[in-house]
Amino acid sequence: MATRNRAGGVTIDRYSVVLIAVAAVLWASDALFRNQLISHLSASQIVVAEDGLITLFLLPVFFRSLPELRGLDWRAWLAVILIAAGAQALATLLFTASFSYRIYAETFVLQQAQPIVALILASVVLGERRRPWFWVVVLVALLGVYMVVFAYNPADPLSALQHGRLEAGLFALGAAVLWASGTVLGRYALGSLSFWSVTSLRFTLALPVLVAVVLVQYGVGGFGHYQVSDFVPNLLAIALVPGLLALLLYYRALSRTPASLSTIAELALPVTATFIAAWQFHQPVYGAQLVGTALLIGVIILLNVTKDTAAEVRSPGALAAAEV
């Protein structure tokens, strides 16, 4: 058994950047189920039910993690709390709120700020330094995503930013910043905790925040709008696939991946979401989208192959914090 576990761990470590991209693809799959719920449930009602189900599944993990938590310093606790309240709870609500304005181009273009913010935070918080060629790779990845998302009209984001609503843009930008910080803080927390513990804490600590949001918005009656058909299959599928499975895979792979590489692999999310939307609404697939997808896949494979040699020297304190 030990040999098999070790082999599995080596495999995940070897392909960690690729597996983060796989986790991002799983995140995007929630659109297949969430669209069935938005007709009678708000964003906060969907997210709190999803989080509650995952918390229930992870309760045994949470109790097993308690001895691990006793040794955490205040910085690690702060990182975990910010991940739960920010990246898990508030970011999801902000992104959904931005979409409610139906200015999708503005939302998508501002979401491209996420890797930029994450790269800056990875340098400041974790001390990660990239070699010069890495920045060329980042530009290629962003170009690939842009080609996929805006293939139908490359100038659409400019028009959206000029004529869009300020609130929609602020919501999208806020979500991007919180998700970027979640990547960096997750890498930091994995220096003190197992990926099982980080995953369970992310959902467990986010649940009171989400419950409070629903109570403020709707009162106790906000929890009375669910139907049995909401849970099976839709909420259950969201909780198990883009929720539990994707986050466990993500944090396991992130424990062996620099945050600055992870944030590029996470660009698989908007690419996958675009193709899912095209399939759902019977939209055409453009040649530029296929080229953009190929560029992003090439970047992810390149980063996976070169991840052990791409980093420059980090400060001793930051290196100690980032190592597992």
Residue 290 structure tokens:
């296929």
Q: Which amino acid is at 300?
A: I
CA distances from 71 to 42, 65, 150 (A): 39, 11, 47
Averaged confidence pLDDT in the chain: 85
In a domain, residue 2? The reply is: no
Q: What domain range includes position 160? A: 26-322
In a domain, residue 13? The reply is: no
Helix (H, G, I), strand (E, B) or coil at 324: coil
CA distances from 56 to 61, 87, 124, 179 (A): 10, 20, 35, 24
Q: Which pLDDT score, from 0 to 100, does residue 164 have?
A: 60
Q: In the structure, what pLDDT confidence band is assigned to residue 240 with cuts at 50, 70 and 90?
A: very high
In a domain, residue 20? The reply is: no
In a domain, residue 187? The reply is: yes
Which residue in 212, 255, 178, 270 sits closest to 51, CA to CA? 212
The whole-model pTM stands at 0.87
Residues 45-89: tens digit of each pLDDT = 988 999 999 999 999 999 999 998 888 899 999 999 999 999 989
- Spatial contact of 24 and 272, defined as CB atoms under 8 Å apart: yes
- Spatial contact of 312 and 130, defined as CB atoms under 8 Å apart: yes
Distance CA 235, CA 240 (A): 9
Residue 311 reports pLDDT greater than 70: no
| Angle CA 52–53–58, to nearest 5 | 95
In a domain, residue 7? The reply is: no
CA distances from 134 to 183, 198, 211, 262 (A): 18, 28, 41, 13
Helix (H, G, I), strand (E, B) or coil at 262: helix
Residues 213-233: tens digit of each pLDDT = 999 999 999 998 888 888 988
Residue 174 structure tokens:
């806020």
In a domain, residue 19? The reply is: no
| Percentage of the residues of the chain whose pLDDT score is greater than 90 | 52
How crowded is residue 304: how many other Cβ atoms within 10 Å of its Cβ?
A: 20
In a domain, residue 205? The reply is: yes
In a domain, residue 230? The reply is: yes
| Percentage of the residues of the chain whose pLDDT score is greater than 70 | 86
Distance CA 279, CA 204 (A): 34
* Average of per-residue pLDDT across 235-256: 94
Residues 118-171: tens digit of each pLDDT = 999 999 999 988 888 999 999 999 999 999 988 887 776 666 666 666 777 788
Residue 128 structure tokens:
């990660």
- Spatial contact of 266 and 100, defined as CB atoms under 8 Å apart: no
User: Cα 83 vs. chain centroid, distance in angstroms?
Assistant: 11
Distance CA 210, CA 236 (A): 18
What is the number of structural domains in the chain? 1
